[in-house]
Structure 1
Amino acid sequence: MGRLCFLSAHQMLEGFRSGQLSPVEVMKDTLLRVREVNSTYNCICFLENEQTLIDKAAAAEQRYLQGKSSGKLDGIPITIKDLLYVPDMPTLNGSMLPPHKEHPLITPCVLSIIQEGGIIIGKTTTSDFGWKAVTVCPRTGITRNPYDADRITGGSSGGSATAVALGIAPLSIGSDAGGSLRIPAGFCGVVTLKATIGVVPHAPVSVFGSLSTVGPFARDVRDLSLLLDVIAKTSVEDWLSVYPGRRDTLMPNPYSRICEEGGDLRGLRIAVSYDLNHYVRYIDEEVKRSIREAVSVLESLGATVTNVDDREEDWNLNRLDIYHTYKVLWSAAAAQVISMKKESYGMTEEEIKEKMDGGLYELAMLGRKYSAPDVMEAEHTRAELGVMMNKFHQKYDVLITPNMCIPPFAADREVPEDVETIATGPGKKGWNADTDLKRFFTWTAMSYVFNMTKQPAAAVPCGKFSWGKQVPISMQVVGAMFREDLVLRVCNAYQKVTTHHTRNADHMG
């Protein structure tokens, strides 16, 4: 059987129900795994008291013995990103700034996990308020790639992705306002889904507004769908949450039913784009190769595949000021972080500057320069992009792209060493080489576009780089709004006939 901690959530549940596997023994191996790897990879920033966790696992074991399992996740170890609120655990936002004074709401997805019997073992690392695409912050330091500790894990949900890849937990929760689920999933070789905004409730409200949502990590699509079944609920605490009547007509229930289907993709219209029709400036050649191979697999499963680069004249992201739009929205949100801390704590500007990640503070200063009309213009451009994608999906059910266009770079950097060569931004409205070459949005264009459009987008491993320690490569699967079912159908079909997702980052520290 191998290490218990590397079993899937489904394997654990089947073992618990049959009596062949003990939740207590799984928890003990989970805690051993944390001790083995966390000092090197730095993905857990808060671990619940070990005896408390053993006691919770023992209670789950008794429920199984009595035939009274408490829910879909009973006894499963799970981690939560340190931007989300868990009862009796600190939420420090990866920041040296003080946390909220008032006791906040429990994040809705966390409450759903607890109600279904999941055991939350601790909190995972993030960047300062989740502001950048690497998981490095003044409070916890550097979170490292599970396949190569000298390289980034991605961010800002890098702790969650790393914990899943390393076998600390089969499931985790992160968040995504510009790629923060998909970027680390890609670099860590795990799967994730950024659902349509409103499918998974997000509360308290994020400073990044409707760019942001929370979502699941797992090692395979079957486990991912199980966790999505649990967290995709309506919540009155999130004004964007899909209300019950509309939810029933828009979404399958449960999502995990999709994974019981075969791998037949006949009738599905799949578009493939390697650079979003020349919006993204640079794609690594090994990434292109892996995407070509993945698309060939999907075609062999019956899908009709069309390369849409240079083919769709109306699908032209370069005619919209997307780079500038995202930069305006993101930096304005960063400025709001400072305003919130000033209002809540009466902190001075200098006190905030001293404790905040320097890059976040610089971006907040940029955000202050934008006016209300600037922000409204950005929202208008965002709406135009959304309409463009709506029309695109009239012709194509799903879009396949590279997930990350480059390999993970040095762990202590925010941008690649060759950022001037690969950056998406030069020549676009709002470009400022002096400041932008230090920022994450120069190399994450394939991700943030689909936060702007609110669409579902998954990351699925589809290869590995040939050099060094062979870090993972992944593809992005994008659907029309509320078509998580089609995204999961493609991901599930692909994993049924490939083995990239079965690779483990099985290190001992």
Structure 2
Amino acid sequence: MTASLNLLPAAELVAGFGSGAWDPVDAYEASVAAVRELDRHVNAIVMLDEEAGAQAAKESARRWQSGETLSPVDGVPITIKDIVLTRGWPTLKGSSLVDSSGPWEDDAPATARLRESGAVIFGKNTTPEFGWKGVTDSARHGVTRNPWDPSRTSGGSSGGAAAATALGMGTWSVGTDGGGSVRIPGSFSGVVALKPTYGQVPVWPASAYGTLSHVGPMTRTVQDCALLLDVLARPDARDWSALGAPASSYAGALDGGVAGLHVAFSPDLGYGHNDPAVDAAVRAAVEVLADLGARVSEVDLGLDDPVEAFHVLWFSGAAKVLRGFDPEALTRVEPALAQGIREYGLDASAADYLDATEVRMSLGQRMGELHRTYDVLVTPTMPITAFTAGQAAPDGWPSWLWTSWTPYTYPFNMTQQPALTVPCGFDSDGLPIGLQVVGPRHADALVLRVGQAYEQATGWHTRRPPLLNQV
């Protein structure tokens, strides 16, 4: 029994805590056992603190026994992407530029809220250098691999968080998303991931990528995603741009279904191109929503790809990251990162940045107008499935830039809308495919509700990576 606790959804896990069927120590030990058995296949965990995890689990077990739990998810095991500050542990951000000696005295808002909830934080997940790209590998920590096929990439930049979650190396994880970084690996690794409305989860220190950057939950079910968002979406005075506390629980608003909702379906946003397997799976998912009572309309958005504007915003932020290090930092980071900074970031003027911001504002206006008619927009999360691990792009791809194969994610960082990915099928190689649900700003609850209705009508989220059958 204990060995399977790491794969239970949080709601079932804490029900067992309450009934006495098992306790947080059992759940923690199951998660750590999964790390010991499986991480050698995927390289998702950059730091494991078994002593701290065991102590937190014991304290949670005592609270359950005494009826003094800190929250409804007290005792749930979780890992955190190594971009997010964790008191007492190094946050190395996948870069040799970061001095591991610290001191490491602060928790980021997400970490602080997790501690306050009683969650058992026991490790940190891999990231590419400074979270800059859509795959997860770095000179400091190596290549992170896909839980469904370790010869493939897990995606990125929250690829370690996605792989860990898919394999039960923790019930949940916390990732970051500046251009797709929870949704790309969510799609590639077959997990649920939400980029919330900007400001819904406070961020501190402020990201060099500015208001493109979000912190979001990564889980195996939509309900768990909502439960984790309930924990993370609490105010923190250190983030002046954070939104106020939600008026109600996200987990409590999941069950309204989709009947009567007007859903816009765009297979390509007007400029993308999908693998046939992706196109078929997403169209089938749209039919499920229609069968559930949604009014689905395929729309031609006619958008121009905002990628050039995104590059100015993104690589200007990357250049800002390196200004915190020595003058030779640009020669000491990943060559592709340095190339992107040189091409798009170093010479960008204030006028260039404002021009890119104008593109961003225009895109936001277009999406705002769309949502006057449609409750949500659904698209593929990714136009492809996972490609070879350790590569920047698929074989034969015309561009080395990660944005060239992630056309449906970064636009919604520019517009700050909530965007959820849920598993919606597999290709002929057994690799996951994701469906993206996008809502108007502040409609996180609606996006989760649509994802929940789809998940409950299908069984994709119940499938498990073959690695789990090999241990």
TM-score (norm 1): 0.89
CA contact (8 A) 2:87 2:104 kept: no
- Find the aligned partners of 1:111 and 1:99 in 2 and give their Cα distance: 23
Q: Distance in 2 between matches of 1:109 and 1:128?
A: 21
- SS at structure 1 position matched to 2:394: coil
Contact 2:190–2:434, Cα closer than 8 Å, also in 1 = yes
Amino acid at match of 1:291: V
Aligned to 2:443: 483
Q: Is the 8 A contact 1:334 1:361 kept in 2?
A: no
Kindly indicate whether the alpha-carbon contact (under 8 Å) linking 1:105 and 1:203 is maintained by their aligned counterparts in 2.
Answer: no
Aligned to 1:275: 268
Shift of 1:284: 0.7
What is the CA-CA distance between 1:23 and the residue it aligns to? Answer: 1.6
Q: Return the offset for 1:16.
A: 0.4
Partners of 1:388 and 1:55 in 2: how far apart? 50
Asked if 1:445 is matched to 2:407, the reply is: yes
- Matched residue of 2:346: which SS? helix
Per the alignment, residue 355 of structure 1 pairs with 332
Distance 1:16 1:451, change over 3 A: same
Of 236, 241, 255 in structure 1, the residue corresponding to residue 250 of structure 2 is 255
The residue that corresponds to 1:423 in the other structure is none
Match for residue 145 of structure 1? 146
Partner of 1:134: 135
Q: Give the corresponding residue for 1:344.
A: none
Distance 1:108 1:412 in 2: 32
Name the residue aligned to 1:74: 74
Query: Are the counterparts in 2 of residues 91 and 99 from structure 1 also a CA contact under 8 Å?
Result: no
Question: Unpaired segments of 5 or more residues in structure 2?
Answer: none
Residue number in structure 1 paired with 2:286? 295
SS class of match (1:168): coil
Alignment of 1:40-439 (within 5 A): 40-48=41-49, 50-99=50-99, 103=104, 105-243=106-244, 247-248=246-247, 253-259=248-254, 261=255, 263=257, 265-276=258-269, 278-280=270-272, 282-309=273-300, 315-318=301-304, 322-341=306-325, 347-349=326-328, 352-366=329-343, 367-420=345-398, 437-439=399-401
51-60 or 176-185, larger mean C-alpha shift: 51-60
Residue 258 of structure 1: how far off its partner (Å): 1.8
Query: 3-state DSSP class of the match of 1:78?
Result: strand
Q: Is the 8 A contact 1:107 1:204 kept in 2?
A: yes
Measured against aligned partners, the alpha-carbon deviations of 1:166-186 in whole angstroms (never above 9, x if no partner) come to 111111100000000000000
Question: What secondary structure, in the 3-state scheme, does the structure 2 residue paired with 1:399 have?
Answer: strand
Selected match of 2:419 from 451, 454, 457:
457
Structure 1 residue 7: Cα displacement: 1.1
From the superposition, tell whether residues 331 and 507 of structure 1 become closer, same or farther in structure 2 (CA, over 3 Å). farther
Letter in 2 for 1:57: A
In 2, the alpha carbon distance for the partners of 1:482 and 1:337 equals 29
CA distance in 2 between counterparts of 1:333 and 1:361 reads 12
Find the aligned partners of 2:232 and 2:458 in 1 and give their Cα distance: 27
* Distance in 1 (alpha carbons) for counterparts of 2:67 and 2:314: 49
Residues 82-136 of structure 1, C-alpha deviations (whole Å, 9 max, x = no match) = 0001111110001110248665642111100100000101100000000000000
Which amino acid in the other structure matches residue 442 of structure 1?
A: S
Name the SS of the counterpart of 1:254 in structure 2: coil
What is the distance in 1 between the residues matched to 2:148 and 2:267? 25
Aligned-partner Cα distance in 2 for 1:10–1:454: 29
Give the SS at the match of 1:340: coil
CA distance in 2, matches of 1:273, 1:132: 25
CA shift, 1:202, in A, is: 1.0
Q: State the SS of the aligned residue for 2:217.
A: strand
Equivalent pair of 1:335/1:363 in contact (CA under 8 Å):
no
Gaps of 5+ in 1: 310-314, 342-346, 421-436
Residue type of the partner of 1:386? Answer: G
C-alpha separation between the residues in 2 aligned to 1:491 and 1:140? 34
TM-score, normalised to structure 2, is: 0.96
Identity of aligned residues (%): 41
